[in-house]
């Protein structure tokens, strides 16, 4: 198998090589268009009036003065969508009767220019009746807490329970029991491009240009909301300036559609960063973790209670809870399990998808505790993990596909590249590690189409969103090798739901594996059609024909693809269409793949200030097969930096009154270039055992989850402080050091 | 075979039945959008400044005053397209240095409204240097005639020569030789919708909404002209208000694109009727026909010289000449042939495609002469034709596929339904007949796609243009029966070249046969995919599964298509795509089919005024298989009425100075309801021997060509006058009657 794979690898001209990105020139020359760059003729500019209360009834809205302002085309309020069922993805199109967080859209204006729209907002008079608010988990979970959704009996938005074995028995059979509570802050994705949407509503239907990672799901929501057949809703996705989950599912597209419907002209709304931070963020979390072990380090039982701060509306909070309840288990063999994860409504902006949903919060807890166990039992942390890792094929819990990766090979690679055995034992070394494995949420539904044009060029119709991750390049590489076409002959665009076939989403690290398989199958379908034409032309068998540089070769004979189309159709014109799709058959059961990331950190702490400096960070990603190695390394490094952000710096601060007070780059600290670890290494493990093309598996999220525990474990090992609350602000570290010295 | 076909027919639920048109409600409620109904946001209104000289050099154009007019966004002249190679389809984007007909576009204005655009035209100062003009065939063919294209040696734009046997020998072996010259007027299609185009030019490429029958050919022309890859040019074709060939090939789309490029905004130009008459028309013609026969009526030799008035630019004049040179032969076995057809440049608006190109002119000559031969030899005209008809499989001339229809069956049907034998022999009866068979120019390249949506509905992507002929209905019927889907579950739109696969054109009666086959194959491809899913679900063989009402049935088990998609993808979403294409394999050689139409007319002539009244008209169309019988009858009746138009009323009149003087409905007489024959019958022959779906062959043009000879032959038989020049204006008929009485 391996020899075979290696042989096959030699045949690749593009796969496995870090070719120039197919969208590189467009991007570096500034030609690449993002939604906010587009101007649809006749387009109006929209702005949103947002609630200044965290929880209040709306008694009235008077927009007459705004409507009278010159340049204002329309003002939208809940009254304008009265005939619709206005809920989607746990949110209303626009606030209905009450608001549930500071920043909730209450009205929206479309005007000839930004300034008029802005001015009109100030002319809208909203009368509120303030209600008691519940800001933060404690307030929302307290007895007698105000009900954020008054039709529910409490503020629980979603609950996931996982159980296996007998938890009581597990603890009874354990030699040691560990129980701790960890907290993780609310953080924001901080993609370079805030959310942007343009909508047009006319007799033909609805057209929406949006920074959306899930165009087909947004299409479905809009179609349902406005009572149209999905094929009458056209979603066009230009380039995206970073997603990281912030642009998953439907955000405020329906509001812009409703505004365009009222204005009878296209409308564009581009969020400010502050507005985007109020639109979606990562769940803050509290994780109580109780683990029983044998004295030889064998894990026996784990109980966890996880509370996630979902905010005013559900978004995909329940899905985050579902993942968290499993991801808290780590990639370990634990016979007795009982975990509960709760998504909790609070009076703040909604939380939703964010790179590795539910994982950083829970794996921080899990991997911190692993080190506490190792320390207590006097076992090397790497050895403790190796002892408990799931073996390939072994089940984490029922109803999940068994582990499909060789975890030990990744950890051994980390141990060797980081020189763990030597460096972590040096006196004064502050070195720690963490291991992450997540059951990726990738939905195995992708359909793709490749169309060979009469001039021999190929147009790819794949609904994946290019958001910086390089998906257009990776898909092009896969197709180019399958069809022996130069990359230049391949045209690939973004999703246009009128044109591109169905794709579940761009998210969950799924595109290379799933859309990659769909385009590979589409290319094979096309290849078979070409070979049939070639066989007829050469009077040969398809097996005697090889492909090279956009042509079929058979002995001395050669037929270019262009000639093949002419041969098929006997004149100029025509085209050959190859289709491919992928469904659950790719693996039979879910997850489609396990995503594996491990990392080690070495630190320096300024004991006077508490400032943490990362001297060295090694990240190991099991990618199965790296289609574009530099792209994988870039993804992994980016993920690690994002992990450094939530570990050391980032947290969204809501004051008790419900206002987010640090929604800008001055007050919300993201990692900068000076925070890049001095030594920063990424190692790709390529066991070619993933379900994707040529053995690839999803990556790009795994690098994120090991960072926090690797750093807190390094602090514990080097400085003797165990911090269970993130981020590791200098103050928090300094206080912990001071506490220890007492 | 026939029994089998009949059995198969019983299975059809839609094919062969005159179902409601799928676009019927949209049309009768006025919701159907035509290009002129569309308003693209930000759209400007364009108008064209046209030459007032038939032939002149352009010494200068001063558009500064027009540009300064408030509301004017751009003025286009040849100077703006200097960097392009401005010729396409034998025409320039806009007049370059000289004009070749009155009405040629010299400049164009885009403005905020029609009135400003109109006013701006009057402010453009064009200096001409008049040149001697050649208006009409005689002037253009005269010795020393002005050269319309100065780089040529004469005014011949195209020449087709057909030869078979030995023409001298043929005449030598003949008992009788007949030689006559016939003329046919320039006529206009008079579609209800004049040409309309909207163009948008931006960084993404070019988008054009157009009343175009050949979207992919227009796309190719525009891409070439503006130096873009064809996939960057998007052609969208809304409903068309009648084509009849007037909207074949590229008309003034490039001009509107160039204007939008200059204005940097979308521009719409809708022609007036007068402007459309100057844009395209049918070739006026002069046909000299010499035929040798044996005294028993056996045709021995035919020589023809055909001159076609093409106008200032080629358009598809050469293609018309190619067809005319063959179509003048009729559907007869003639051993010795020599024909020459010339497309001739003249200083008038260009001629191009028009329902049955090159046929009405030549078949009028051929079928008139057949009756003259019959009269001279004392043979019944029907018998003379039956004697000389090509038999099925017999070749008309080399390099053409043999006759694929049973001509005798159609004529016998005509003879019986019209009661020819009895009624034509009645004293004073003015009854005549004509037979047309044309080698259809249909290019066998069509690609189609059907996409089954997750809700079980089907979206059809077929590039055929719905121009009133009912193609969307016919394609839907074919698909509905193949997939056992209700018609309501099928969505079918027009061409959008960004979405719909390649289709050669909508023209040459090709869509039912060729696109019909492509969609049938696409539906079959999809059906096979469904059956595979069904076989797995039912644990059965595909052969054990039947389809009914959007579901698969196997014994007691049932799986709807919607469920099948869910079964395939294991969740909501996904889609199944079926592709189908058709190429020359459909028949091996061309024509793809012969189009057969025959007709008989019975007249009344008011001998005082010369006015001709058609008392009864019977039309016979061999359609192979009528997918939608009422649609076929409607096509045939429409064609016959159009034939009545050019036979009795229509002619575009150019005065010697080169101006078209009757470009409106008052001066240009088209048939009205009162001209509909009192008895008007259409008979469909269904031998199920066409190459299209279920034995269909193209129709809709054949009904046109027999009308003129049927009427002139009736005049000859009933009134003893043989008129060889059309139209049969009262004056012309009256003069002929008067001449005869002398």
Whole-model pTM: value is: 0.94
Query: Residue A600: which H helix or E strand, with range?
Result: strand A594-606
User: How confident is the model at residue B518, as a pLDDT?
Assistant: 98
The 10s digit of each residue's pLDDT in A422-469 is 999 999 999 999 999 999 999 999 999 999 999 999 999 999 999 999
- Tell me, what's the pLDDT at A1? 34
Q: Among partner residues B33, B41, B577, which is closest to A265 by beta-carbon distance?
A: B41
Give the one of A231, A502, A568 whose C-beta lies nearest to B573's C-beta.
A502
- Checking ipTM against 0.95, whether it exceeds it is no
Say how far apart CA B549 and CA B481 lie, in whole Å.
10
Nearest neighbour of A445 by CB, restricted to B41, B498, B569: B569
Beta carbons of A499 and B504 less than 8 Å apart: no
The whole-number pLDDT of residue A616 equals 98
Q: What is the mean pLDDT of residues A588-592?
A: 96
C-alpha distances in angstroms, A320 versus A159, A160, A215, A360, A651?
Answer: 10, 9, 20, 11, 19
What residue of B is the nearest CA neighbor of A458? B231
As a whole number, mean pLDDT of residues B323-346 equals 98
Residues 416-455 of B with CB under 8 A from A: 443-445, 447, 449, 451, 453-455
* pLDDT higher than threshold 50 for residue A9: no
B584 and A573 in contact by Cβ < 8 A? no
List chain A residues with CB under 8 Å of B579. Answer: 577, 579
pLDDT above 70: residue B506: yes
pLDDT confidence of residue A600: 98
DSSP string, A376-387: HHT--HHHHHHH
Is residue B401's pLDDT more than 80?
yes
Tens digits of per-residue pLDDT, A152-168?
999 999 999 999 999 99
List of chain A residues whose C-beta atoms are within 8 Å of the C-beta of residue B459: 231
- Does A295 score more than 70 pLDDT? yes
Which stretch of A4-13, A247-256, B399-408 has the lowest confidence by average pLDDT?
A4-13
- Closest A-chain CA to B577: A579
Per-residue pLDDT at B4 exceeds 50: no
Question: Which residue do the tokens 């109006």 mark?
Answer: A44
Task: Count contacts between A and B (CB, < 8 Å).
Answer: 121
Is any Cβ of chain A less than 8 angstroms from the Cβ of B221?
Answer: no
User: For A40, which of B41, B453, B457 is closest by C-beta distance?
Assistant: B41
* Greatest Cα pair distance in chain A: 89
**Do the Cβ atoms of B457 and A229 come within 8 Å?**
yes
Which of B110, B579, B580 is the best residue to mutate to test the A interface, defined by the most A CB atoms within 10 Å of its own CB? B579
In A, minimum Cα distance to B203 occurs at A31
Residue A709: name the closest of A637, A635, A640 by CA. Answer: A640
Q: Is residue A7 pLDDT above 60, yes or no?
A: no
Backbone angles phi, psi at A321, to 5 degrees: -60, -40
Q: Do A501 and B41 touch (CB under 8 A)?
A: no
Contact state of B231 with A200 under an 8 Å Cβ cutoff: no
| pLDDT exceeds cutoff 90 at A359 | yes
- CA–CA dist A240, B727 (Å, integer): 65
* C-alpha closest to that of B56 among B141, B120, B150: B150
Predicted local confidence at residue A160, as pLDDT: 98
**The pLDDT of residue A42:** 83
CA distance B496 to chain A (A): 10
By three-state DSSP, how is residue A642 classified? helix
Residue A8 has pLDDT above 90, yes or no: no
- List chain A residues with CB under 8 Å of B504: 571, 573
Q: Which among B31, B231, B457 has CB closest to A491?
A: B231
Mean pLDDT (chain A, rounded) = 96
- By the CB < 8 Å criterion, does B533 face chain A? no
Task: Give per-residue pLDDT as tens, A208-241.
Answer: 999 999 999 999 999 999 999 999 999 999 999 9
Q: How many CA atoms lie within 13 A of A148 on its CB side?
A: 31
Interval A399-419: pLDDT, tens: 999 999 999 999 999 999 999
User: pLDDT tens digit string along B525-569?
Assistant: 999 999 999 999 999 999 999 999 999 999 999 999 999 999 999
Question: Looking at the predicted structure, is the pLDDT value of residue B1 above 80?
Answer: no
Q: Does A584 touch chain B (CB under 8 A)?
A: yes
Question: Could you report how far apart the first and last alpha carbons of chain B are, in Å?
Answer: 59
Q: Does B31 touch chain A (CB under 8 A)?
A: yes
CB-based contact, B229 to chain A, within 8 Å? yes
**Cβ of A570 and B577 within 8 Å?**
no
Q: With CB atoms and an 8 Å threshold, state whether B449 touches A571.
A: no
Pick the more confident residue, A537 or B4. Answer: A537
- Burial class of B550 by CB neighbour count within 10 A (0 to 12, 13 to 18, 19+): buried
Kindly state whether A536 is in contact with chain B, defined as any CB-CB distance less than 8 angstroms: no
Are the C-beta atoms of B618 and B593 separated by less than 8 Å?
no
Least confident of A38-52, A719-733, B333-347: A38-52
Distance CA(B35)–CA(B37), nearest Å, equals: 5
| Cβ-based contacts of B218 with chain A (< 8 Å) | none
Considering only CB atoms, which chain A residues are within 8 Å of B200? 41
**Gap between the Cα atoms of A97 and A55, Å rounded:** 11
What sign results for the dihedral spanned by CA atoms A369, A370, A371, A375? positive
Kindly state whether B587 is in contact with chain A, defined as any CB-CB distance less than 8 angstroms: no
Hey, is B472 helix, strand or coil?
helix
**pLDDT exceeds 80 at position B424:** yes
Quick: pLDDT tens for B167-195.
999 999 999 999 999 999 999 999 999 99
Say yes or no for a CB contact (<8 Å) between B265 and A41.
yes
Shortest Cα–Cα distance, A32 to chain B (Å):
10
Q: Which of residues 289-328 of B touch A (CB under 8 A)?
A: none
Q: Which of B325, B319, B322, B328 is nearest to B299 (CA)?
A: B328
**B584-643: per-residue pLDDT in tens?**
999 999 999 999 999 999 999 999 999 999 999 999 999 999 999 999 999 999 999 999
CA distance A592 to chain B (A): 13
Is A459 an interface residue toward B (CB < 8 Å)?
yes
CB contact under 8 A, B583 and A570: yes
Structure confidence at residue B204 (pLDDT): 81
The CA distance from B251 to A421, in Å, is 78
Task: Collect all residues with Cβ–Cβ distance below 8 Å to B9 and sequence separation of at least 6.
Answer: B15, B16, B694
The pLDDT value recorded for residue B6 is 41
Of A460, A688, A490, which is closest to residue A593 (Cα–Cα)?
Answer: A688
Q: Does A266 touch chain B (CB under 8 A)?
A: yes
8 Å CB contact of A504 and B573: yes
- Banded pLDDT at B423 (limits 50, 70, 90): very high
Residues of chain B neighbouring A570 (CB-CB closer than 8 A): 444-445, 583-584
Inter-chain CB proximity A579 and B577 less than 8 Å = yes
Looking at the partner chain, which of A216, A443, A570 has a beta carbon nearest the beta carbon of B444?
A: A570
């Amino acid at each position: 198998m391996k020899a075979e794979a290696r042989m096959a690898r030699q045949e690749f001209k593009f796969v496995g090589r870090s070719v120039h990105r197919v969208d590189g020139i467009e991007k570096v020359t500034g030609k690449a268009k993002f939604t906010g760059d587009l101007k649809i003729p006749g387009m109006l500019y929209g702005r949103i009036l947002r609630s200044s209360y965290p929880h209040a009834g709306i008694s009235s809205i008077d927009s007459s003065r705004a409507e009278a302002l010159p340049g204002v085309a329309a003002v939208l309020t809940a009254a304008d969508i009265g005939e619709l069922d206005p809920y989607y993805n746990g949110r209303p199109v626009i606030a209905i009767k009450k608001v549930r967080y500071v920043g909730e859209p209450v009205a929206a204006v479309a005007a000839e220019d930004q300034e008029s729209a802005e001015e009109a907002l100030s002319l809208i008079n909203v009368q509120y009746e303030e209600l008691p608010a519940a800001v933060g988990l404690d307030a929302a979970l307290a007895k007698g807490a105000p009900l954020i959704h008054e039709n529910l009996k409490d503020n629980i938005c979603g609950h996931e329970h996982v159980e296996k074995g007998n938890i009581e028995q597990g603890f009874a059979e354990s030699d040691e029991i560990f129980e701790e509570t960890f907290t993780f802050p609310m953080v924001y994705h901080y993609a370079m491009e805030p959310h942007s949407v343009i909508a047009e509503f006319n007799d033909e239907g609805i057209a929406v240009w949006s920074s959306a990672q899930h165009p087909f799901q947004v299409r479905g929501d809009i179609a349902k909301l406005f009572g149209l057949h999905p094929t009458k809703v056209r979603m066009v996705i230009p380039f995206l300036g970073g997603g990281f989950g912030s642009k998953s599912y439907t955000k405020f597209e329906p509001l812009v559609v409703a505004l365009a419907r009222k204005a009878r002209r296209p409308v564009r709304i581009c969020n400010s960063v502050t507005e985007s931070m109020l639109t979606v963020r990562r769940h803050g979390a509290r994780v109580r973790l109780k683990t029983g072990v044998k004295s030889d380090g064998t894990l026996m039982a784990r109980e966890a209670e996880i509370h996630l701060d979902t905010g005013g509306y559900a978004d995909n909070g329940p899905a985050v809870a579902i993942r968290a309840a499993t991801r808290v288990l780590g990639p370990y063999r634990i016979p007795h399990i009982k975990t509960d994860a709760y998504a909790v409504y609070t009076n703040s902006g909604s939380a939703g998808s964010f790179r590795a949903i539910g994982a950083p919060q829970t794996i921080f807890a899990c991997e911190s505790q692993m080190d506490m166990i190792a320390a207590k039992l006097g076992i090397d942390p790497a050895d403790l993990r190796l002892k408990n890792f799931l073996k390939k094929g072994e089940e984490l819990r029922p109803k999940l596909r068994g582990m499909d990766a060789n975890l030990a090979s990744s950890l051994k690679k980390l141990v060797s590249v980081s020189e763990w055995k030597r460096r972590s034992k040096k006196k004064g070394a502050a070195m720690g590690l963490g291991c992450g494995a997540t059951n990726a949420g990738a939905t195995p539904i992708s359909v793709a189409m490749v169309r060979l044009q009469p001039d021999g060029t190929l147009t790819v119709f794949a609904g994946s969103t290019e958001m910086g991750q390089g998906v257009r390049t990776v898909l092009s590489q896969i197709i180019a090798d399958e069809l022996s076409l130069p990359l230049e002959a391949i045209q690939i665009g973004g999703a246009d739901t009128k044109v591109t076939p169905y794709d579940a989403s761009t998210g969950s690290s799924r595109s290379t594996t799933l859309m990659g398989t769909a385009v590979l199958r589409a290319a094979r379908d096309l290849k078979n059609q070409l070979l049939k034409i070639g066989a007829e032309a050469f009077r040969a068998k398809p097996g005697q024909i090889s492909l090279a540089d956009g042509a079929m070769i058979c002995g001395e004979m050669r037929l270019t693809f262009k000639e093949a189309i002419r041969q098929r159709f006997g004149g100029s014109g025509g085209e050959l269409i190859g289709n491919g799709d992928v469904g659950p058959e790719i693996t039979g059961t879910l997850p489609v793949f396990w995503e594996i990331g491990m990392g080690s950190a070495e630190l320096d702490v300024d004991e006077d200030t508490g400032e943490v400096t990362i001297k060295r960070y090694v990240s190991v990603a099991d990618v199965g097969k790296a289609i574009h190695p530099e792209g994988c390394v870039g993804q992994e490094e980016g993920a690690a930096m994002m992990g450094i952000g939530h570990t050391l710096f980032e947290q969204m601060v809501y004051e008790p009154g419900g206002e987010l007070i640090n929604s800008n780059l001055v007050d919300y600290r993201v990692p900068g270039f000076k925070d890049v670890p001095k030594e920063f290494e990424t190692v790709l493990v390529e066991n070619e055992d993933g379900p994707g093309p040529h053995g690839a598996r999803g990556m790009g999220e795994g690098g994120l989850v090991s960072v926090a525990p690797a750093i807190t474990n390094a602090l514990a090992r080097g400085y003797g402080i165990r911090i269970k609350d993130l981020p590791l602000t200098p103050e928090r570290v300094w206080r912990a050091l001071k506490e220890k010295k007492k």
